[in-house]
Structure 1
Amino acid sequence: MEITLNKKKGTEGSINIKLGEADYQMQVEKKLGDYAKKASIKGFRPGKVPAGVVKKMFGKSILVEEINHILSHKLNDYIKEQNLKILGEPLPNLEKSRLIDWDNQKDFEFEYEIGIVEDFKYELSDKVKVKSYPIELDKKIVDDTLEDLRKRFGKVEYPETSAIGDNVYGDLREKDGEFKREYGFIATDKVVKKEQKTFVGLKKEDEVEFDITKIFDDLSLTANLLGVSEDEAKKMKGTFVLKINTISRTEPAEVNQELFDRVFGKDTVKDEEEFINKIKETVGENYKRETQHFLEHHIEDYYIKNTSINLPEAFLKKWLQATSEGKVTEEMIEKEFDQYKRSIVWDLVRNKIAEDHKIVVDGNEVKGRAKEMIISQFGGPAIAEQLGDRLDAIADNYLQNENGKNFMNLYSQLRNDKIMKLIRETIKVDEKKVSVDEFKKVVEEHTH
């Protein structure tokens, strides 16, 4: 056997593998023997099929199978031994493979195209400067959160006639267009003040007309009503009609121990002052996550723009099309390739940082993250108390589902968190405190 690397240029090349009869013959003969023992062929007793018959019937397929097995292992071993950093997977030269005469050849030669990543350097020090926008927590945010919690845990009634503060549900349609949606929902207290009277005094089966561009100040509310993205919601104009089928009204919950326990778990807080402080802490953590997520975008931008990495672009385009099973065209690849390159560069930088700084994640950390996620999704601290020891079993079951994909997803999240923590603690982060509205504006203006 002979394996050679041929570099066409810095980032692209090929691996050639030559096989002689001695490299595969023993394994092929063994497989033929195994087939002879197990084969059930008409005219022969089980286990008594002559070797020549087995070879004639199965010889070629066994030869192809065994050579592919050898190639797969030797190719991977060679890449590891030579410490080749490749992107994608090696692509076999199909033109050469088609010329093989499996019936008569004894010696074989195979070629695999590869895309190589050359070594690169990145900057990880206080010379790197990025901006962060921490959100300041004001009284209005806390008050609004308290009111939302009171409504969420309040008593729901279904009045015959709507008033401000009620939620109205129904079939939504465009008056002079084709848009229809079976389920539409409007929280009347979210409607702009001068338009709220439109939604007062409505009864079941009533139809109410409104200008879709005028009822909300927040585009996300328009998008939710229509069931479309915010970009699509921007394009919607004209009069819409909602035919009412349900009206709901929530009597806000009393601010007492029952509410404290339902929100944060039994006896976690014991009076209104502790409750408000816990709300501040929780909302503050939520805003901190938003700030941190946006900071990570700035960090990603910095490293993509300031890290020089030569990519095997021609190979990657070919590999993307070859592995798409006909679903991706050259035109599609050209259109999306810049975004794809961005993703590759960022992955390469993160992986190198993790490798250089020996960042690892163990199984206990993954299970801990799974438990945190389950608690968050099913009601917060209160659910943890109810589940007790069963939480461990639920977490184990979750991690084993989807053939281990859930485990790998959380593993990747934890690994990324550790990498980003190292970066944040090493570089210089310039902070500018902003309000919620200012933060939304900065995010909206930010582009990759």
Structure 2
Amino acid sequence: MNIKRTDIDALNATLTLEITKEDYQEKVDKILADYRKTANIPGFRKGHIPASLIRKKYRTPVLVEEINKMIQEKLNSYITEEDLNLLGNPLPKAQEEIDWGKDDFIFEFEIGLAPDFEVDVKGKKAITQYEIKTDDKTINDQIDRIRENYGKLIAKKEVAEGDEVTGVFRNDEEEINVDATFSTSKIKGKSNLKKFVGAKVGDTLELKTKGLFNEDHDLASSLKIEHDKAKDLNVSVQFEITEVNEREKAELNQEFYDKLFGPGAVNSEEELKEKLREDAGKQFAQQTDQKLLTDVTESLIENTKFDLPADFLKKWIANNGENELTEEEAAAEYERSEKGLRYQLIESNIVKNNEDLQLKFEDLQDYSRTMIKAQMAQYGHTDATDEEVDQVVARIMSNQEEVKRMSEQLQNEKMLKFFKENAKLKKKELTYEEFIKEAYDA
């Protein structure tokens, strides 16, 4: 069997396979001989069916199956031997109906090649690396929220400023009929607040959704609608008050500290603040790290220029899903996935050129072991033996889905560390509220 590559351009080529009778005859003859021994055909004893009849009945399906196997094996071996970096899989070129009565065959396949390019991780423009300050206001606000959550509800008949109100929002045209509970401290503007203060259980208030709450997400949460819809919603709603409660904050005492962190872990307000500051620092670091990874990714995609075999990829997308797509559907899917594909190629390029970023089986084992120990410690199992941990690790490593998920997590951590050490960054310290507003345009 011969295979020949013809380059169309730097990103597209065709592979031509020539298959002769000598390539498949021996294998096909052996299979047909085995069929003759085992086939059941009415009017003939098993093992005594004429070879010509077996050949007439079974040669074509056997030949088709064997040639398809040969094609796949040859393509795979050729791609490996030539070290071809393909995008997608080879696509068979359309041809007239094959005459399987012939002795020799020619098959052609289109292939899309990954581009050659260089990645400048350093870049020209510095990327902001945010650091969130755990200032006193942030910690005190968090303590107030926790005290409210652990506090007592005192039922009331009339709404006062700062009370928690429960009721039903209604608007027939928008098909709104939902229960909601919120604090009047979230109501925006004096005129709106005035409608609530003094209202009683059983009263129905006439309200406008536009500008009702300080934050759009509170309106989305109360009406149980998407954030984007809440942002632009401007309709009248009725709100029937069904319950009013004053929330009395929990006292800062040892019982409160023990409820939060377990007996004796925190013993004073100062220790509480220090513990919350430590926990907040970890949570903030996760958010700022994710933001940095996203921003570096976007920057690399924008500034690393290379072409893709777009026409081939659209054709490949159209023909390789569960259902065949139209040209328009394939083009739309390509547009949606192009940025992701570009970053996959960029990341592969970076990993290929930096050995420390390449995942090894031992790395995954160690990473899994660390995760298991941390999870066990969370549930108080701090004295697990190496044998116990290794048994759990073995179960995880035998699960393909878990290995895939863990590989992605570890690769992200390695990439984040690499970017912190190699990308051009500028640090910026701000409060959590400032971070949310600046980083996410909130």
TM-score (norm 1): 0.81
**Counterpart Cα distance in 1 of 2:167 and 2:33:** 72
The amino acid that maps onto 2:434 is E
Bigger Cα displacement from structure 2, 1-10 vs 213-222: 213-222
Give yes or no for the alignment of 1:425 onto 2:421: yes
**Counterpart Cα distance in 2 of 1:164 and 1:43:** 97
Cα shift readout 1:173-215 (whole Å, capped 9, x = no counterpart): 336x333254544344333363345445777765443221222
The amino acid that maps onto 2:416 is M
Match of residue 279 from structure 1: 276
Q: Which of 352, 357, 360 pairs up with 1:355?
A: 352
Quickly say closer, same or farther: Cα 1:140–1:112, change in 2 above 3 A: same
Quickly say closer, same or farther: Cα 1:204–1:105, change in 2 above 3 A: farther
Quickly say closer, same or farther: Cα 1:23–1:371, change in 2 above 3 A: same
Match of residue 367 from structure 1: 368
Shift of 1:398: 7.5
The amino acid that maps onto 1:72 is Q
Give the 5 Å matches for 1:272-351.
Answer: 272-324=269-321, 328-334=325-331, 337-338=334-335, 340-351=337-348
Match of residue 80 from structure 1: 80
Quickly say closer, same or farther: Cα 1:149–1:50, change in 2 above 3 A: farther
Quickly say closer, same or farther: Cα 1:40–1:187, change in 2 above 3 A: farther
Identity %: 30
Quickly say closer, same or farther: Cα 1:330–1:49, change in 2 above 3 A: same
Match of residue 378 from structure 1: none
Match of residue 60 from structure 1: 60
Quickly say closer, same or farther: Cα 1:432–1:39, change in 2 above 3 A: same
Give yes or no for the alignment of 1:435 onto 2:431: yes
Q: For structure 1, list consecutive stretches of 5 or more residues without a partner in the other structure.
A: 376-380
Q: 1:136 touches 1:436 (CA, 8 Å); kept in 2?
A: yes
Shift of 1:100: 1.0
RMSD: 3.8
Cα shift readout 1:300-330 (whole Å, capped 9, x = no counterpart): 2321222222211121222222234557544
Q: 1:86 touches 1:115 (CA, 8 Å); kept in 2?
A: yes
User: SS state of the match for residue 133, structure 1?
Assistant: strand
Q: 1:184 touches 1:242 (CA, 8 Å); kept in 2?
A: no
**Counterpart Cα distance in 2 of 1:325 and 1:19:** 30
User: SS state of the match for residue 429, structure 2?
Assistant: coil
Bigger Cα displacement from structure 2, 10-19 vs 289-298: 289-298
Bigger Cα displacement from structure 2, 201-210 vs 64-73: 201-210
Give yes or no for the alignment of 1:224 onto 2:221: yes
Quickly say closer, same or farther: Cα 1:63–1:211, change in 2 above 3 A: same
Match of residue 120 from structure 1: 117
Bigger Cα displacement from structure 2, 356-365 vs 276-285: 356-365
Give yes or no for the alignment of 1:91 onto 2:91: yes
Q: 2:289 touches 2:416 (CA, 8 Å); kept in 1?
A: no
Q: 1:266 touches 1:382 (CA, 8 Å); kept in 2?
A: no
**Counterpart Cα distance in 2 of 1:260 and 1:46:** 85
Give the 5 Å matches for 1:156-305.
Answer: 167-169=164-166, 171-174=168-171, 177-192=173-188, 194=190, 195-199=192-196, 207-243=204-240, 252-265=249-262, 267-305=264-302
Q: 2:178 touches 2:223 (CA, 8 Å); kept in 1?
A: no
Quickly say closer, same or farther: Cα 1:382–1:297, change in 2 above 3 A: closer
User: SS state of the match for residue 87, structure 2?
Assistant: strand
The amino acid that maps onto 1:307 is T
**Counterpart Cα distance in 1 of 2:175 and 2:438:** 32
Quickly say closer, same or farther: Cα 1:47–1:326, change in 2 above 3 A: same
Shift of 1:429: 0.9
Shift of 1:8: 0.4
User: SS state of the match for residue 134, structure 1?
Assistant: strand
Give the number of equivalent residue pairs. 435
Give yes or no for the alignment of 1:107 onto 2:104: yes
Quickly say closer, same or farther: Cα 1:128–1:443, change in 2 above 3 A: closer
Cα shift readout 1:247-301 (whole Å, capped 9, x = no counterpart): 6776544434454444445554444322211111111222222222222232123
Quickly say closer, same or farther: Cα 1:16–1:171, change in 2 above 3 A: farther
Q: For structure 2, list consecutive stretches of 5 or more residues without a partner in the other structure.
A: none
Match of residue 25 from structure 1: 25
The amino acid that maps onto 1:69 is K
Q: 2:313 touches 2:334 (CA, 8 Å); kept in 1?
A: no
Bigger Cα displacement from structure 2, 127-136 vs 229-238: 127-136
Bigger Cα displacement from structure 2, 246-255 vs 212-221: 246-255
Match of residue 412 from structure 1: 408
The amino acid that maps onto 1:179 is E
**Counterpart Cα distance in 1 of 2:393 and 2:162:** 39
Match of residue 135 from structure 1: 132
User: SS state of the match for residue 87, structure 1?
Assistant: strand
Q: 1:370 touches 1:410 (CA, 8 Å); kept in 2?
A: no
Bigger Cα displacement from structure 2, 73-82 vs 434-443: 434-443
Bigger Cα displacement from structure 2, 112-121 vs 184-193: 184-193
Bigger Cα displacement from structure 2, 249-258 vs 14-23: 249-258
TM-score (norm 2): 0.82
Shift of 1:89: 1.7
**Counterpart Cα distance in 2 of 1:134 and 1:50:** 83
The amino acid that maps onto 1:427 is A
**Counterpart Cα distance in 2 of 1:84 and 1:324:** 23
Quickly say closer, same or farther: Cα 1:382–1:306, change in 2 above 3 A: closer
